[in-house]
Structures are given as structure tokens and as C-alpha cells.
Amino acid sequence: MQAEETTDELRAYDLRVRQPKEGYRFSLDPLLLCDFIEAGSVGRVIDLGTGCGIIPLILARKAAGASLVGVEFQEEAAGLAMRNVALNGLQERIGIICDDILSLRRRFPVSSFDLVTANPPYRTPGSGRISPRAGRDLARHESSAGLFDFLSVAKYLVKPSGAICFISHPSRLAEFVRCAGELKLALLRLRMVHGSAAAPATMFLAQLAKGRKGDTLVLPPLLIHDEQGEYSCEAQRILGE
């Protein structure tokens, strides 16, 4: 029996998105990542761990000429992503694959994509509170693929002229930088996300590239709320409010 779902509107992108009412639901993370991406001239895009397909859906609106692929290993979530693509009439531009990211080397030649995106599970196995809601624990905790695997697959898939863009939890930042160094991926841009100016970072946004060298540009922090506790001007722009 299919789980109960809701339909949510992202008016800024003219999208309707079906999500489980009780299972894993996307939050602010994919909206921040899509805003961070310089998507204007992107051609081929692949999103690793696409969930309900939210990142390909948004990027399809932001980059009119892009063709996109979303990869999701949970069958129910992959099916939902396919329905969301159809719901928004984007079947000709977005394809959904139900597979483990570790199998993608058999599906695609090396350097197949201009952009690789990921909002990977940010908890290691056995860490953090286990969610009672179906699908949520799998989405938040690493299973067969860890952070190094996500980065290694991204390196294989991206063109030397392309970009890898991730969003993750600050507790994984040191590991992220170490893994990127081991894979000889250049960290080109980094931005920390804070709930407010006085709060510790809750997420980080990073852009990597392969086959290139360069200094890391650390961007000004992104503040979600202002001093009054309201959404900041930048957050309002990203949310389309």
C-alpha cells in the first residue's frame, strides 16, 4: 500500500512536489545547494541520492537547456521521483535511475557530466537518533556508500571542465576536505550556513573540480535568520518569499 503523501508547491520555480507525509521530506538543504550552483551554462547534470527528485527539478527550471539524471537507491523514493518528474512535465529532460551510486561506473563513461550534485547522508552508521519514520533513517545515515564513495563517484562522472557541488553537515567538513585531497579534487568554493549570526554553522556548501588547481574562495556566511528571528533577505530570495 502506497504511503500517504502531500503535494507541496515551490512557487519560485513553478514546481509541485509530492512527498511522503510521514517519511523523509526535503528541507532547506536542496534549495540552498541549487542556489549555490552556478547553473547558467550547465549541460548534463547528475544528482547522487536524489530522493524525491527535488534537486533535478529545481535545476531544470534554473538551467533551461540542461538534461538531468537523478540517482536513488530506495525503490519507493525513486518511484516518487519519477512521478514528480511527470507531474511537472519534465520527462524529456530528467531521467531517474534506481540504483546504488557504486554501480554508476558501469552505466556511464568517465567524464560524462558537466555538473555532479549531492546532498549525501550526513550521519555515519550507528550515530545520531534513529528516526521511527520510514525512509528517514536511510536518507540521513550512510549505508553502502560513505562520503569518500560519493566524492569518488562524483570525480569519475564529472568532466575536467565541470563542477562537483555538495551540501553537508559541518561535522563532516574535515573528512570532506581530507577525502577531496586524497582524490586530488580542488576545493574551489566553500560557504558556511548559519541559522543566525550568533549560531554555529549548520551546513556547508562546497564546489570541487578535478584536474585543476586553485585557491579556495571562502564566501561570506549565509545567514538564514536576521536579528529579529525572521528570514534574512537572502533566505527569502532563495525560498522565493
CA distances, 52 to each of 5, 23, 81, 133, 190 (Å): 12, 11, 4, 16, 26
Specify whether the CB–CB gap between 32 and 26 falls below 8 A: no
Give the DSSP letter of residue 88.
T
Instruction: Decide: residue 206, CB within 10 A, 0-12 exposed, 13-18 middle, 19+ buried.
Output: buried
Cell readout for 209 is: 573540480
How far apart, in whole angstroms, are the C-alpha atoms of residue 186 and residue 221? 20
Instruction: Decide: residue 173, CB within 10 A, 0-12 exposed, 13-18 middle, 19+ buried.
Output: middle
One digit per residue, pLDDT tens: the chain, 241 residues?
566 888 999 999 999 999 988 777 788 999 999 999 987 667 999 999 999 999 999 999 999 889 999 999 999 999 999 999 999 999 999 999 999 999 999 999 999 999 999 999 876 655 445 445 544 444 443 456 899 999 999 999 999 999 999 999 999 999 999 999 999 999 999 999 999 999 999 999 999 999 888 899 999 999 999 999 999 999 999 988 7
| Beta bridge pairs of residue 158 | 113
Cell readout for 112 is: 560524462
Count of domains for the chain: 1
pTM: 0.90
Residue with cell 540552498: 32
CATH code of the domain covering residue 215: 3.40.50.150
Instruction: Decide: residue 92, CB within 10 A, 0-12 exposed, 13-18 middle, 19+ buried.
Output: exposed
Give the DSSP letter of residue 14.
T
State residue 197 phi and psi, 5-degree precision.
-65, -30
Q: In this predicted structure, what is the pLDDT of residue 139?
A: 44
Domain residues for 159?
5-239
Q: In this predicted structure, what is the pLDDT of residue 23?
A: 74
Task: Give kind and range of the element (H or E) at residue 70.
Answer: strand 67-72
